[in-house]
Amino acid sequence: MQRLAPAHFLNGLAIVARAPLADLSAAFAELIGRSLWLENLKPSQTQNFVSLASGLVDLRSDLCEALDYRALFEASSREDALDAIRAIDGEAAANEAGKLRKPKIVERAALLARDRHWLPEALASLSASKPRDERSTAQAMVEEIARDEAAKAAGQGSDGDGAPTIARAVERFLEERCVRGGEGRIKAKALLDRFGEFAEAEGLRKIGYAELSEALGSLGFEKKRSSDGVHYLGLALRDDAEARQAAE
């Protein structure tokens, strides 16, 4: 690539013609990597890159190998580290770890996570493989067109999986299960868990933290990181808000 940058087209073409296929593939991948602005990637676009990478490598194993678990849990709240221990090794292990100071909790969570190949929700959902599509290209195109036409006729959008768009599903969840405005605030993990319950009850596709964060951001909700994790401001669960009002 350094030789190509200052070269005229014909000279560059000659360099490319003599290059081994492996070098061309590596150069192409590097060009793609340099062109990406990660902060502007949407979850759906990220998933496309992940799907491409999954066909070439064992993505989950590579993520587990590359992830600095100690740094992850040091940057997380004490409660988030205990939640990870709970997810990996059960409630009893989390209760036992809860008696320790945070540095020891971090050490235990990092050791368990690396040994069990655990990944945080955002990475786990990103690296989850989808079932292989056995349809022919023509059949898939016909079915997708028919589904889009049906969705348009019904006045509904689709996220490509036949479900209502994520933003619309999240907005409906907020309308039915949450209270907006005021001094309300809710932990991101609690909100994601409650949306998961709502999605299961309504037959909707569950989503990961990245998709929920994008949807809430598009709806104008502000998030703030504090010592016990990420919170969304101006938002509260309806049953929690009603319980507080009854207590007052």
How does pLDDT run across 171-199, given as a tens digit for each residue?
888 988 898 887 888 888 889 889 988 88
Return the pLDDT at 48.
63
Q: Using CA atoms, how far apart are residues 196 and 47, in angstroms rounded to an integer?
A: 20
Is residue 162 very low, low, confident or very high in pLDDT (cuts 50, 70, 90)?
very low
Q: Using CA atoms, how far apart are residues 152 and 127, in angstroms rounded to an integer?
A: 31
Domain-by-domain residue ranges, the chain?
9-54, 68-118, 143-247
Return the pLDDT at 166.
75
Residue 96 pLDDT greater than 90, yes or no: yes
Per the CB < 8 A criterion, the answer to whether 174 and 235 are in contact is yes
**Range scoring the smallest mean pLDDT among 77-81, 105-109, 130-134, 154-158:** 154-158
- Give the long-range contacts of residues 159-168, CB within 8 A, separation 24 or more: 159/44, 159/205, 160/44, 161/205, 163/204, 163/205, 164/204, 166/207, 166/211, 166/214, 166/215, 167/215, 167/218, 167/219
Return the pLDDT at 82.
94
Segment 39-46 mean pLDDT: 58
Residue 145 pLDDT greater than 50, yes or no: yes
Residue 13 CA, chain-centre distance (Å), reads 40
Angle between helices 166-177 and 209-218 (to 10 degrees): 80
Angle between helices 59-66 and 43-54 (to 10 degrees): 110
- Answering whether pTM is above 0.85, one says no
Supply angle C-alpha 102, 104, 110, rounded to 5: 100
Q: State the residue for tokens 């599509």.
A: 133
Of 189, 198, 187, 197, nearest to 87 by C-alpha is 189
**Range scoring the smallest mean pLDDT among 25-34, 116-125, 127-136:** 127-136
- Give the long-range contacts of residues 28-35, CB within 8 A, separation 24 or more: 30/1, 31/1
Return the pLDDT at 158.
47
Return the pLDDT at 154.
47
Q: Kindly give the residue spans of alpha helices, DSSP state H, lying in the chain.
A: 9-18, 21-35, 43-54, 59-66, 69-75, 78-89, 91-97, 102-116, 121-127, 137-153, 166-177, 188-202, 209-218, 238-247
Segment 156-181 mean pLDDT: 71
Percent of the chain exceeding pLDDT 90 equals 19
Q: Give the count of beta carbons closer than 10 Å to the beta carbon of residue 239.
A: 12
Domain 143-247, CATH among 1.10.3720.10, 1.10.10.60, 1.10.10.10, 3.20.20.450: 1.10.10.10
Return the pLDDT at 74.
93
- Mean pLDDT estimate for the chain: 76
